[in-house]
Chains A and B, each alone.
Chain A
Amino acid sequence: MFLEIHDPKAPPRAIGIDLGTTNSIVACISNECPIPIADCNGETLVPSVVCFDKSGDVIVGTRARERAALQPKETIVSVKRFIGRANDDSETRRLGPYTFVAPKPGEANLVRFDVGIDHPVTPIEVSAYILAELRQRAEDDLGRIGGAVITVPAYFDDTQRQATKEAAKMAGIEVLRLINEPTAAALAYGLDQKKNGLFAVYDLGGGTFDITILHLDDGVFQVKSTGGDSQLGGDDMDRVVAEALADDLGLADEVTHSALVSRALLTAAKALKHALTGAESAEYVLEDGSVLAGKRVQLTRSRFDALVMPLLDRTGRACKRALRDAEVKPDALDGVILVGGSTRVPAVQRFVEQVFGQTPLTDVDPDLAVALGAAIQADILAGAGNMPEVLLLDVLPLSLGIEVGGGVVDKILPRNTTIPAGARASYTTAEDGQTGFDLHVVQGEREIAADCRSLAHFVLKGIPPMAAGLARLEVSFRVDADGILSVHAVETTTGVEQVVEVKPSSGLDDATVETMLLEAYDQGEADLLRRRIAEARSECERLGRAAERALKADARMLEEGEREIIDEALRALQAAVEGSDADVMRRAMEHVDAVTKPFAVRRMNHAIAEALAGRTIDDVDAKPALMQGGAS
């Protein structure tokens, strides 16, 4: 047996994670090439399945999937379909084996599974177990890991993105960036094939569908438009087939909807779908576990194609809208990239060919492309310098707005706005003496707020009574590079203001989150205080390195005496790092931040001036990166 020795001084490596509906993958850069990280059996896919065993064990991956037939209620499959969803969402009423717990009065309206343990389990918690498993796999292979890029469907809304980040936090993973799955796939494809041009990425996964139109030009990946459906995928094909099988078997509704039978039917449907990829007809004998054990079901490809056609039509409509939003005709596309396991279905490939009028490209592994793209982006963001410099310019998938009079939505940031993005809008009072504004932030394309996703409800209070129309409320929206919104509201005549983080709640109390965090960490670090010190220390070190780099690159921009002040602050920072007081470290960081501010502004203004003058800053920036790569 080989014993792999890790260099403890080696910088921790950043990883890319494809957190999929059906399977998840973790990847990294090795010898300047993105590769998936396999387990000891050489298996790269981790089934996104979590089983809460009666013994109290939580089982993740292949072993959990094997339990689904016998413990359908306790084994959560395709949890991604539920993440960031409300308890009364349509997804909880579809064919499936789960038992849901309705929120108690005062609790957030979230999906909660009853899995037979002491507390109901949220999708965030289930996702955290999958992420912790991937993190463990990466650490077994690489030693220490330094942050992750996690992919999400492009069409994920704010709540779903926030929930994914919270799951990562629970799993003890530092998120460098959330990136969109189709963009990640395009990155892996574009760098591999060294192609420029206009591409469509058709991404049909286990549970979600995305269509993205993007332009690849010398390392800049500019998304033109995106569209999709975060509840449309291979699982829905399985459901329509399972329902047809239930009809064939003459099952009564209450039989079909029992946990064991619905799981058995869904498993049979998936097996038939897989078999029909290469055959004209297929047969399946239902497994043990339900009253159907031993029964034979069959399906022809033409019947399967007819069953899934309505689902494909839904993807077609999204494709047409995305093309229109991008102001692109199908024949202007240089290629159509297929991503996601469901694009293996022959009917899907034929459908895509028909929609875009060209044969889709097949030189991309539909299962791996997303994870490999995430690994490339993680390596770039961590500043490792193994990959050529690329830049992803992505967009907001769904419009953001505020509910105004009559329940109508005032759109503040339209869909397909390039992120990071910001916009402002101002409102006034409708009634005399009104002392508060009730603000309702929504996301979606519908004109009525009730038809959109409600992101946050908050009240700006403490405005002195004025006549109607005199108060002036300014609302600013800011969407960061993860596609996540923050809102700032201020009443300008009095200066009353409020900043709102639009946050989802995992439905867990802080103590539970903390225990989960601790469990996710190694035994040696299983001490929250020590962990906080370690975090502050690595932040200090990062700041120190950033400052040194900036000073080395642009010393000429320093003013007289400035260097001495900055050096002094950096020495204090170094002294704080050698101590063990997290508060002292934070204060030292704040001081460095304050004294470098004017220098930072000069550096930025210089970079802007160069960009405006048309000089490629890239030439200047690329050299040190290349040298680093060459020296290591």
Chain B
Amino acid sequence: MNPFARLGVEPKFAVDLTELERVHRDLSRALHPDRHVQSMPSERRRTLDEAVAVNEAWRVLRSPVRRAEALLALRDEPVDGADAKPSASFLMAMMERREELESAKAKGPAALLTLEQAATLDADRCLAALSSALDGGDATNGPPARLLAELRFHRRLLDELGDLTADA
């Protein structure tokens, strides 16, 4: 079962996160092993399997990258096809960001924070483009698979920056 169906939410990128939390909580109340310690063994096994599946679906839908992957899989669109390759100009921009990261490391925490803000803006813009490509069929920024690949780049950079600023 796909994660959208499992949690009973409409298969689109812009999911209602509050509703998602509500559904997960209610399903956990019905299925969590703690609620079935005194149940029949057949029920215990099945509810456990189901609780695991619900948690997995919830984990997928909460993450923008994995949610986009699930949506593309549902539409039978490959995530690593030919049109998933980021453009040359995007790769150039990311290389520049990498260079900025190196020099920010040398400069210190303030420079890292400034770069983190800029990178967050990039990621947000990419996320908005991906959202309108997936939900609105907007092709101006490229195919969804490519935007997803670009989003992964942004996320990786932000993760690294987060590690550096947390230690600072």
> Which residues on A are within 8 Å of B, measured CB to CB?
176-177, 217, 220, 222, 317, 320-321, 324, 377, 380-383, 391-393, 417-423, 478, 480-481, 542-543, 545-547, 549-550, 589, 592-594, 596-597, 600-601, 603-604, 607-608, 610-612, 614, 616-618
Give the chain A neighbours of B32 by CB distance below 8 A. 391, 393, 420, 481
CB contacts (< 8 Å) of B167 on chain A: these are 317, 320
**Bound CA–CA A382/B35 (angstroms):** 10
Contact digits for B36-53, partner A, Cβ 8 Å, 1 yes 0 no? 011111110011101111
26 residue pairs A–B, Cβ–Cβ below 8 Å = A217-B25, A317-B167, A320-B166, A324-B162, A383-B37, A383-B38, A391-B35, A418-B59, A420-B55, A481-B32, A481-B33, A542-B38, A543-B40, A546-B39, A593-B40, A593-B42, A596-B42, A600-B40, A603-B43, A604-B43, A608-B27, A608-B30, A608-B50, A612-B8, A617-B26, A617-B29
Q: Which of B7, B29, B46, B166 is most buried by chain A, counting CB atoms within 10 A of its CB?
A: B29
Within the assembled complex, what's the spacing in Å between the Cα atoms of A177 and B38? 13
Number of interchain pairs (Cβ within 8 Å): 121
Question: Quick check: is B84 within 8 A (CB to CB) of the other chain?
Answer: no
Asked whether any CB of chain A lies closer than 8 Å to the CB of B132, the reply is: no
| A295→B26 CA distance, assembly (Å) | 63
Chain A residues near B23 (CB, 8 Å)? 611-612, 614
Is B133 in the interface zone, CB < 8 Å from A?
Answer: no
Contact check, A391 vs B29: say whether CB atoms are below 8 A apart: yes
Contact among B7, B29, B46, B56 with A422 in the assembled complex (CB-CB below 8 Å): B56
User: Which residues in A have their C-beta under 8 angstroms from that of B55?
Assistant: 417-422
Given contacts A177-B34, A607-B31, contact A550 B56 (CB under 8 A): no
CB contacts (< 8 Å) of B51 on chain A: these are 420
Rounded to whole angstroms, the CA-CA distance of A558 and B48 in the bound complex is 22
B33 partner residues in chain A, CB cutoff 8 A: 420, 480-481
Partner pick for A324 among B31, B43, B47, B166, CB 8 A cutoff = B166
> Chain A contact residues: over half helix, strand or loop, or mixed?
helix
**Across chains A and B, which 5 residue pairs bring their CB atoms closest together, nearest first?**
A611-B26, A612-B8, A607-B30, A600-B43, A422-B52
- Identify the closest chain A residue to B8 (Cβ): A612
Q: Which of A380, A478, A603 has the most CB of B within 10 A?
A: A603
Contact between chains at A545 and B38 (CB < 8 Å): yes
Which chain B residues lie closer than 8 Å to A614 at the CB level? 22-23, 26
Contacts of B30 in A (CB 8 A): 604, 607-608, 610-611, 617
Choose among B37, B41, B46 the residue that contacts A543 (Cβ–Cβ < 8 A): B41
**Chain B minimum-CB-distance residue to A324:** B166
Question: In chain A, what residue has the closest Cβ to B41?
Answer: A593
Tell me the bound Cα distance from A222 to B38 in angstroms: 22
- Whether B28 is near chain A, meaning CB under 8 Å from some CB there, is yes
Residues 1-23 of B, flagged 1 when their CB comes within 8 A of A and 0 if not, give 00000011000000000000011
- Find chain B residues with CB under 8 A from A320 CB: 166-167
User: Which residue of A222, A418, A596 has the most chain B CB atoms within 10 A of its CB atom?
Assistant: A418
Given contacts A417-B55, A422-B52, contact A611 B40 (CB under 8 A): no
Chain A residues closer than 8 Å to B37, beta-carbon distance: 176-177, 381-383
Q: Judge whether A423 and B42 touch: CB under 8 Å.
A: no
Interchain CB contact under 8 A, B59 and A417 = yes
What A residues does B59 contact at CB under 8 A?
Answer: 417-418, 421
Contact at B25–A220, with CB atoms within 8 Å? yes
Q: Contacts A324-B162, A420-B51 given: A381-B46 contact, CB under 8 Å?
A: no
Give A315 Cβ to nearest chain B Cβ, in Å: 14
